[in-house]
């Protein structure tokens, strides 16, 4: 997606403080952190919202959660929140699926 800011980040056309990257996903610091740790874990594949998930995306989505868990541990978070906002009415602002990892 040419006009998607998170695709631009995965394509390295926009800068981000990258915390993790592999062939399926990327994790980077949220530009407006809500707590000490605020990392977004995103699939490299462009999926606009959770509502657009298709059969076969289960493994990818489980992978995002696993990477978030590992980053929480690496960053010394004793507890944390993992959140998806879904759709405009659900508070979603960037229409490329992202998992918020927010922790103290």
Strand, helix or coil at 13?
coil
Strand, helix or coil at 55?
coil
CB of 10 to ligand AMP, least distance (A): 11
**Residues of span 59-88 touching ligand AMP by CB under 6 A:** 85
Contacts of the segment 84-90: beta carbons below 8 A, 24+ positions apart: 84/50, 86/49, 86/50, 86/51, 87/49, 87/51
Binding-site string for Zn ion from residue 29 to residue 68, where x marks contact by CB under 5 A and - marks none: -----------------x----------------------
Site membership for ligand AMP, residue 31 (CB under 6 A)? yes
Tokens 């631009």 locate to 8
> What are the residues binding ligand AMP (CB under 6 A)?
5, 14, 16, 30-32, 40, 85, 91-94, 98
């Amino acid at each position: 997606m040419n006009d998607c800011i998170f695709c631009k980040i995965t394509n390295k056309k926009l800068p981000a403080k990258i915390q993790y990257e592999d062939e399926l996903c990327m994790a980077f610091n949220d530009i407006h952190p809500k707590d000490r740790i605020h990392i977004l874990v995103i699939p490299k594949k462009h999926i606009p919202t959770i509502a657009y998930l298709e059969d076969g995306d289960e493994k990818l989505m489980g992978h995002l959660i696993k990477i978030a868990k590992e980053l929480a541990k690496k960053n010394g978070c004793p507890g944390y929140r993992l959140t998806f906002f879904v759709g405009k009415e659900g508070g979603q602002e960037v229409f490329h699926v992202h998992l918020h990892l927010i922790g103290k």
